[in-house]
Structure 1
Amino acid sequence: SKGVWKMPARTPIADLEDIFEVHIDEDDVDTVFGLLTKLLGNVPIVGSSAVTRGLKLTAVDSAGRRKKVSTILVERDIQGLKDIQVLKEEDDSAGKSGGKSAGKSDSRSEGKNNAKNGDKDSESSQVDGDK
């Protein structure tokens, strides 16, 4: 579950959660495109990017007459994770030890995994991370 993945914009959020082992708590979006749209606050164009849950989503390709984003690159946002870790360490050193439950939760809601697009899994592809 490492590295960089290129996936169709219509990839279900549940697949993204499985690939990167994260829980994305956005009940009102079903696809990676929907998530990026919500994070940006408007419809993404090629080049748009946003970060959530330590993942950076970037619109990289468009298709069709209206040039709607068709492919989204998803990669771990290492710098963002480091920033979160630093904040956590500062909290711990300040004597606040009550924040243990704020971390990654494995209690995934199975109801979200209604595999509407179960046959689309094969379209997501891992990308070589040698930029």
Structure 2
Amino acid sequence: TIEDLLEEIVGDIQDEYDLEVPWLQPQDDGTLLVDARANVEELEEYYDIEIPREKFDTVGGYLFHLLGNVPQKGEKVSDNGLILMVEDSDERKIEKVRVWRDSEVSGTE
């Protein structure tokens, strides 16, 4: 469709027919599946923490900042009491991130 073509050029386009998926999705295993475009504030509110801001606003930007590159699926990092693992990415950006508290190892590692 024309929308698909435009989205290839400019990125996702939201319209009234798109189903809205929440930025943060709690999982049965105790982890949190996060859209990398979610604002870091949402992660802070969910876990009741404060993440020192540098040059990022999104969870994907936060992960990129911590690792210094666009990480591959499965790469993870621990920071601020959380473990963040890339759940989905492509060569240019992070799509989904799985997050859990560092003390909540639930078989995901």
2:107, 2:48 → 1: CA distance?
Answer: 22
Q: Which has the larger radius of gyration?
A: 1
1:31, 1:37 → 2: CA distance?
Answer: 10
Which residue pairs with 1:74 in the alignment? 99
Amino acid paired to 1:42? N
Compared CA separation, residues 26 and 59, structure 1 to 2 (3 A): same
* SS of 1:71 mapped into structure 2: strand
Runs of 5+ unmatched residues, structure 1: 80-128
Greater displacement, 14-23 / 39-48 = 39-48
1:28, 1:67 → 2: CA distance?
Answer: 18
Amino acid paired to 2:85? T
How many residue pairs get aligned? The number is 79
**TM-score for both structures, normalised by structure 2:** 0.63
**TM-score for both structures, normalised by structure 1:** 0.53
Q: Is the 8 A contact 1:45 1:68 kept in 2?
A: no
Paired-residue identity, %: 34
2:72, 2:102 → 1: CA distance?
Answer: 20
Q: Which 4+ residue blocks in structure 1 deviate beyond 6 angstroms?
A: none
1:67, 1:27 → 2: CA distance?
Answer: 21
Aligned CA-pair RMSD: 2.3
Task: Looking at secondary structure, tell me which structure has more helix per residue.
Answer: 1
